[in-house]
Amino acid sequence: MTQKTSSSFPTMTKTAGQVLVLGALMALTGCAGTVPTLGAAPTVASGSAGGATASNANTQLEKCDRTLGTLSVVEDQASSWYIQLSQYKLGSTVPVLRKMIQQSNCFVVVERGAAMNNVMAERDLNQSGEMRSGSNFGKGQMVAADYTMSPTINFSQKGTQGIGGALGGFGLIGSVAGMVAGGIKANEASTTLLMIDNRSGVQLAAAEGSAKNFDFNMFGGLFGGGAFGTAGGYSNTPEGKILIAAFMDSYNQLVQAVRQYKAQEVAGGLGTGGALGVQGGITPPAAAALAPAGAAGAKKTATTNTKKKK
């Protein structure tokens, strides 16, 4: 009779089998994918806007009870930060900024970008006589932009390398600093928004904002600096998500500033020479600024004595 010997390996339980299967699937990431889920990759600038109504907007977005004017958003496409956006597969900042602005109800957004070509093309068609009667594309319907908002992404290379490894991912975009240590990577972005009065050219408001997050390497602690740990274990937060969060912070701070807006005043009026005159200046503010202290005091005394005599 042959004696049945026990196996030297323990019997695999159902749970252990599931863990092994899961591990195998994780090791084979890139070989298969899941069905895309609508709304599964949101940014902080979530939701939509229609007129004065906002849907699913981020609760952290500043909002206004009354609209303060019309506004256009214009990027400086010749600047270095804009040129580098395409190198990191990032598009224009204008669409997301316009959505945030409309959701906040602080300004009415008017078109001054690429779609303006289509707006004018419709008018050209109307003038050519090709449009149907009643199309109502006559003159005097365009809305003026009271203000212009100009976005900027601030750059900095400080801190692009940290403890335990070199920076990967963000490069120079959005003053991005990377720190790899113990499987943790910090991502930061800094942005600025400027708001200009279109009629006078005066800057009305300026705000700087920032955002930061941490990416975690799931396998860094297990596999150290080996191939598995460097093969995409980071959650790889897209650069754009950090920048959008930074722009929302900038916009929130700008809204807080304009809510308490008080116009700056210059003696003699804006653009009439200013209070800091130069020698030989002919404007009243310049003359007053350059007047000798003794003469100014004597004039004040004479004025006081005249009032007493009266």
Quote the percentage of the chain above a pLDDT of 70.
63
Q: Buried (b) or exposed (e) across 15-46, using 16+ Cβ within 10 A? A: eeeeeeeeeeeeeeeeeeeeeeeeeeeeebbb
User: For residue range 74-116, what is the model confidence (pLDDT) as tens digits?
Assistant: 999 888 888 888 777 788 899 999 999 999 999 999 999 989 9
**Across 207-228, average pLDDT:** 63
Query: What is the C-alpha separation between 159 and 182, in angstroms, rounded?
Result: 17
Which range of residues forms the domain containing residue 239? 45-124+141-259
Expressed in angstroms, the distance from the first to the final Cα of the chain is: 139
136-138-143-144 Cα dihedral, nearest 10 degrees:
170
pLDDT at residue 295, as a whole number: 53
The answer to whether residue 161 is domain-embedded is: yes
The answer to whether residue 295 is domain-embedded is: no
Report the 10 Å Cβ neighbour count for 64. Answer: 13
Q: Among 73, 70, 77, 62, which residue's Cα sits nearest to residue 95?
A: 73
pLDDT at residue 226, as a whole number: 43
The answer to whether residue 158 is domain-embedded is: yes
Angstrom distances, CA of residue 274 to CA of 44, 199, 202, 258: 43, 19, 14, 24
The answer to whether residue 118 is domain-embedded is: yes
Query: What is the C-alpha separation between 305 and 279, in angstroms, rounded?
Result: 31
The answer to whether residue 164 is domain-embedded is: yes
The answer to whether residue 132 is domain-embedded is: no
What's the token pair of residue 241? 């998500």
| Band of pLDDT at residue 33, cut at 50, 70 and 90 | low
Name residues whose C-beta falls within 8 Å of residue 152's C-beta, 6 or more positions apart in sequence. 76, 79, 81, 191, 192, 193, 194
Q: Among 145, 146, 55, 59, which residue's Cα sits nearest to residue 102?
A: 55
> Within 13 A of 53's CA, how many CA atoms are on the CB side?
2
**Domain at 55, CATH number:** 3.40.50
Q: Concatenated DSSP letters for 18-52?
A: HHHHHHHHHHTTTS--PPP-TTSS--SS-SEEETT
Report the 10 Å Cβ neighbour count for 163. Answer: 9
- For residues 289 and 273, the answer to whether their CB atoms sit within 8 Å is no
Q: Measure the CA angle with vertex 60, ends 58 and 62; round to 5°.
A: 100
The answer to whether residue 134 is domain-embedded is: no
For the ranges 22-31, 95-104, 200-209, which has the lowest average pLDDT? Answer: 22-31
- Our count of domains for the chain comes to 1
pLDDT at residue 86, as a whole number: 77
Q: Measure the CA angle with vertex 246, ends 244 and 247; round to 5°.
A: 65
Q: Among 43, 79, 100, 72, which residue's Cα sits nearest to residue 152?
A: 79
The answer to whether residue 277 is domain-embedded is: no
pLDDT at residue 157, as a whole number: 37
Query: What is the C-alpha separation between 176 and 245, in angstroms, rounded?
Result: 13
Of 247 and 165, the structure prediction assigns the larger pLDDT to 247
- For residues 204 and 147, the answer to whether their CB atoms sit within 8 Å is yes
Of 178 and 72, the structure prediction assigns the larger pLDDT to 72
For the ranges 170-179, 222-231, 251-260, 289-298, which has the lowest average pLDDT? Answer: 222-231
What's the token pair of residue 48? 């939509």
Q: Among 98, 123, 108, 245, which residue's Cα sits nearest to residue 176?
A: 245
Sign of CA dihedral 210, 155, 216, 57: positive
Query: What is the C-alpha separation between 114 and 75, in angstroms, rounded?
Result: 12
For the ranges 4-8, 66-70, 182-186, 206-210, which has the lowest average pLDDT? Answer: 4-8
**Across 283-298, average pLDDT:** 61
